[in-house]
Structure 1
Amino acid sequence: SPDYALDVISLVEATLENPAKVLRAQERKARDAAMAAMKADGVEYEERIERLAEITYPKPLEELLDHAFELYCQSVPWARDYELLPKSVLRDMVETASDFKTYIGRYGIAKLEGTLLRYLSDAFRVLVRTLPPDVLDDRLRDIIAWLGFMVRTTDSSLVDAWESAGELPEAGAPPQAADAVVADRHGMEVMVRNALFARVRLASLDRTRELGSLDEDWGFTERAWDAALDDYFAEHNEIRIDGDARSAAYLVIDEGPEQDAHLWHVRQIFLDEDGDGDFRIEADVDLDATQEEGEVIFKNYRVGFVEDLAG
């Protein structure tokens, strides 16, 4: 199944305690979006209120998991002392290619950073401690590496505590040379890939305000994104975000300056309907700052057609 990795995450998330305030923020955002859509469709007020009462936070695979758990309890009766709690926090982050800071901003939960971090660290620990190696596919390995990198860089004390207690397997933190610039290479690569494709996804939806919010710190504002995408859509009809667009063929990471400058040169190519590949993001990744902040920090950030960037 193309959703295999996501479905495994949903299974894991259903075994975790609910981060209640985070889920309420998801529910509130879903209801706000539904209310706006119903108003636009001319739905009467009483009907809107009735429909809103049925909207809750996402619960992927709820029926399937409940059925599977009931079958399990038939042979393991004591399991009925527990309950599944389907939800989508980590899965939501993966599907939207959101890092920690982006996710906090999307739901307006700045005061819940600790709650979210604890939840994600619990999810990471379950993923690395309970999934047998033979059920991991490449996407799951990437997600686990990215999640471990994010948790470790956001609050290393959590992972340090597990390691000191012997609770974290080696897969959670690959050994590196003592003088290595990048402590977790796989995690860093996945984080960079996710950060860049998140921008492709937002660009495909023409959400320049969010793009400007992400990139204004390195000089690429909402106005700059507006201008760049106006140029793009004057030449192309769409920005693809399918599996091909996510492939390694459209992301170039040059690790050449890693040792001397502590940078990676990166290039994210936009896949258009004709496959021209003539529009891209080019930037440097500040490796030290990225590992310190737990989110990708860019330098020399530019967006545009290849001929303009070359100039």
Structure 2
Amino acid sequence: VIMDEFHYYSDPERGVAWQAPLLTLAHSRFLLISATLGETRFFERELERITSNECVTVSSTERPVPLEFNYIEDSLTETLGKLQASNQFPVYIVHFTQRSASETAQSLLSVNVCSKEEKAAITKELEGVGFTSPFGKEIKKLIRSGIGLHHAGLLPKYRVLIEKLAQKGMLKVICGTDTLGVGVNVPIRTVLFTQLCKYSGTKTGILTARDFHQISGRAGRKGFDDEGYVIALAPEHVIENKRLEAKAAADPKKKKKFVKRKPPERGFVHWDEQTYARLQSAPAEPLSSSFKVSHGMLLNVLSREGDGCAAMRQLIRDCHNTEHSKKSLRKQSFQLFRALVDRSIIEIMPPDSPQKLRVNVELQDDFSLNQVLSLYCIDTLGLLDTTAPDYELKLLSLVESILENPDIILRKQLDKAKSDKFAAMKAAGIEYDERIEELDKVEYPKPESEFIYETFNRFAAEHPWVGAENIKPKSIAREMFERYSSFADYIKLYGLMRAEGLLLRHLTNVYRFLEQSIPPAFKTEPVNEAITYIENLLRITDSSLLDEWNTLKDPDYKPSFDEPAPVKAGPIDITRDREAFTRLVRNEVFRFLRMLANKEYSEINESYDLNKLYPDAKWKHTELGNAMDAYYETHDWIRLDPAARNVANTRIIESDDRLTWTIEQTLVDPEALNDFLVIFELSIPEARESSSIQITPTSIRPSIA
């Protein structure tokens, strides 16, 4: 068992994945690897105890590529000029917020870091690469200038592209957070720290020795460089004061008026050259155990063949936590176990059965409870009326409430809510002071919050294991589904261009929970349509997270490396399951309607075959616009809310030979006239052969009474 990046053992969220193998694989040989292991005697003893084999630590501070460290009190632009002149590119400029990384990258567009020939080579390399999201144009502009941007707020496909181009040595400057280089051999000659302090989630402090060594160790990669360079810039106010002092020294009058710049009041801890020197020589901090028990772990261990309870007890007994912590883990595990049994998620088998416990056979094969508050969500679903017209929306609200808050998105929602409220109050003639007072009461959207808070408080009172966990009502996936937004529409609505990756991850988490953790009994047809909508949204935007998940579930899964198609491609007969196929068809119909409602006529012309709609027209998108002008003479807009997407507004007519579907979709309008139709044709053999939905619009006309 080879465990690279073993320092993640201490990670509060993921550390258990590095510890579990050490506790359970007694007959394996282990190789633990990290540049920052720190003190290793504890792990030597544990491995010898578990495997009964001698454990040897192989350590060295010698680097194949030596590093040169420098502390500089010049501006970033001046420093980059010197690095370029001394052939110390490519350089990785390290930031600790996504925003600062993006701002630096934008500011460097005026700096010429690449030759004309190098830019031409990059342009050639980008042929065929799609930059289809709203932030794609900015990424493309940066890359073509030889500048990379790399942080978790980007779509995965852009991060992978940056890594590939960096590996080929085509990017001269990369602005990023500490996400670059983890598990990727990127040839970086110089690492440049813009600061030596970092916000840890609770407070701002000087970098840990482990973080410093991990980041600086990316400079000077073997096989690419003979020497690497690590540079730390002084704090911005120190650099600015040095510049102002030099300027004032030449003019006595200015010297008298000179006022020193002060350091930031928040989010800053001072560092200097001594701090930098101390970090270079400091050993990595000791690794600490972060073992914890979750519903997901219990479900996996208890459903093993044999005695799952004994295996769980053994796991807690052997874990590396303190004895006091183990006592709490045993108590918590029993509470979690009782909750699983009470809800028939885990079934106790008869005494003569070789397996003492099993997961309820009525649940999906890949059923899981990977969110801490999964059980609350499932428990509360039973209180909802599955026949209610807004059932699927309430279910989405419940699911989103147990997921972590994507703070950037929620802040943008709040900003927009306040702006809209302020404008409405101003239009109503409300006094300024009263408007400001009312704005303090505005929140980001939290549908069903009263119901969620009430049911959660009751659930928490009955289940002590909930502890400090709290519920977080919000509406992101729900709001998108209610509006039937495209990914780009939603990004533009809230100005989330720099947080596209964050929105993608949130939607992926919602989709995974809907797929894996909602029992089949709660998956009504409207819920399945919501799942189909989110899945296709993810595939059209960036399928890499879904591909990664599917590969983990199915080793034979073959992801597509082309631009994602509207529906999953592959040799699958998608027409076999009529209900599921109908959902896919309706999803594609509403994708067309969303573009129609946004008046994206050129985009429709690019995405759909309009030859049957306008066979003789040269400019088909213009003809489509003219046809819709007739609609807008008597209607304000096209509704896409859940009521408008009711199945009653979609009529599917199957041909006698069952080879063609004609789909008549009513355009639902705010006036409730509902007197226009869009008619499509769909070839069933083509859908079966291509595993995709290719609807062809044939008519847009008033409906005939």
TM-score normalized by the length of structure 1: 0.72
Equivalent in 448, 468, 476 of residue 61 of structure 1? 448
Equivalent in 666, 674, 677 of residue 280 of structure 1? 677
* Matches of 1:118 and 1:80, distance apart in 2: 26
2:645 counterpart residue number: 246
* Matches of 1:18 and 1:101, distance apart in 2: 21
Q: Does the alignment pair 1:9 with 2:411?
A: no
1:194 counterpart residue number: 590
1:198-251 CA distance string (max 9 Å, x none): 478x5xxxxxxxx22x33423269974872234335xxx997878775343433
Q: Does the alignment pair 1:28 with 2:415?
A: yes
Q: Against the structure 1 CA distance between its residues 178 and 7, is the aligned structure 2 distance closer, same or farther, given a 3 Å change threshold?
A: same
Equivalent in 215, 223, 235 of residue 601 of structure 2? 215
Q: Against the structure 1 CA distance between its residues 161 and 302, is the aligned structure 2 distance closer, same or farther, given a 3 Å change threshold?
A: same
* Matches of 2:545 and 2:529, distance apart in 1: 20
Q: Contact 2:400–2:473 (CA<8 Å) still a contact in 1?
A: yes
1:130 counterpart residue number: 517
Q: Against the structure 1 CA distance between its residues 265 and 220, is the aligned structure 2 distance closer, same or farther, given a 3 Å change threshold?
A: farther
Q: Contact 1:220–1:301 (CA<8 Å) still a contact in 2?
A: no
Stretch moving more, 61-70 or 137-146: 61-70
1:102 counterpart residue number: 489
Code of the residue aligned with 1:279 in structure 2: it is F
Q: Does the alignment pair 1:232 with 2:628?
A: no
* Matches of 2:492 and 2:485, distance apart in 1: 10
Q: Does the alignment pair 1:269 with 2:662?
A: no
* Matches of 2:681 and 2:592, distance apart in 1: 12
Code of the residue aligned with 2:504 in structure 1: it is L
Q: Percent identity?
A: 30
Q: Against the structure 1 CA distance between its residues 155 and 244, is the aligned structure 2 distance closer, same or farther, given a 3 Å change threshold?
A: closer
Stretch moving more, 224-233 or 47-56: 224-233
1:84-131 CA distance string (max 9 Å, x none): 111000110111121222222222222222111110000101111111
Give the C-alpha shift of residue 273 in structure 1.
9.7
DSSP 3-state at the match of 1:2: coil
Q: Against the structure 1 CA distance between its residues 250 and 17, is the aligned structure 2 distance closer, same or farther, given a 3 Å change threshold?
A: same
1:178 counterpart residue number: 571
Rg larger in 1 or in 2? 2
- Greater RCO (CA < 8 Å, at least 6 residues apart): 1
* Matches of 1:275 and 1:56, distance apart in 2: 32
User: Map of 1:151-170 to 2, 5 A cutoff?
Assistant: 151-166=538-553
Q: Contact 1:59–1:86 (CA<8 Å) still a contact in 2?
A: yes
Give the C-alpha shift of residue 40 in structure 1.
1.0
Q: Contact 2:482–2:641 (CA<8 Å) still a contact in 1?
A: no
How many residues are aligned here? 277
Give the C-alpha shift of residue 65 in structure 1.
1.5
Q: Contact 1:142–1:186 (CA<8 Å) still a contact in 2?
A: no
Give the C-alpha shift of residue 53 in structure 1.
1.6
Q: Against the structure 1 CA distance between its residues 181 and 70, is the aligned structure 2 distance closer, same or farther, given a 3 Å change threshold?
A: closer
RMSD: 4.2
* Matches of 2:389 and 2:651, distance apart in 1: 24
* Matches of 2:427 and 2:471, distance apart in 1: 36
Q: Against the structure 1 CA distance between its residues 94 and 230, is the aligned structure 2 distance closer, same or farther, given a 3 Å change threshold?
A: closer
Q: Against the structure 1 CA distance between its residues 177 and 156, is the aligned structure 2 distance closer, same or farther, given a 3 Å change threshold?
A: closer
* Matches of 1:47 and 1:221, distance apart in 2: 50
* Matches of 1:78 and 1:116, distance apart in 2: 30
User: Map of 1:44-59 to 2, 5 A cutoff?
Assistant: 44-59=431-446
Q: Against the structure 1 CA distance between its residues 186 and 229, is the aligned structure 2 distance closer, same or farther, given a 3 Å change threshold?
A: closer
* Matches of 1:255 and 1:105, distance apart in 2: 39
Code of the residue aligned with 1:29 in structure 2: it is K
Stretch moving more, 74-83 or 102-111: 102-111
TM-score normalized by the length of structure 2: 0.34
DSSP 3-state at the match of 1:86: coil
DSSP 3-state at the match of 1:131: coil
Give the C-alpha shift of residue 298 in structure 1.
8.2
* Matches of 2:677 and 2:477, distance apart in 1: 28
1:18-44 CA distance string (max 9 Å, x none): 111111221122112111111110000
Code of the residue aligned with 2:502 in structure 1: it is T
Q: Against the structure 1 CA distance between its residues 284 and 132, is the aligned structure 2 distance closer, same or farther, given a 3 Å change threshold?
A: same
Q: Does the alignment pair 1:18 with 2:405?
A: yes
* Matches of 1:215 and 1:266, distance apart in 2: 20
Code of the residue aligned with 1:195 in structure 2: it is R
List alignment gaps of at least 5 residues for structure 1: 169-173, 203-210, 286-295
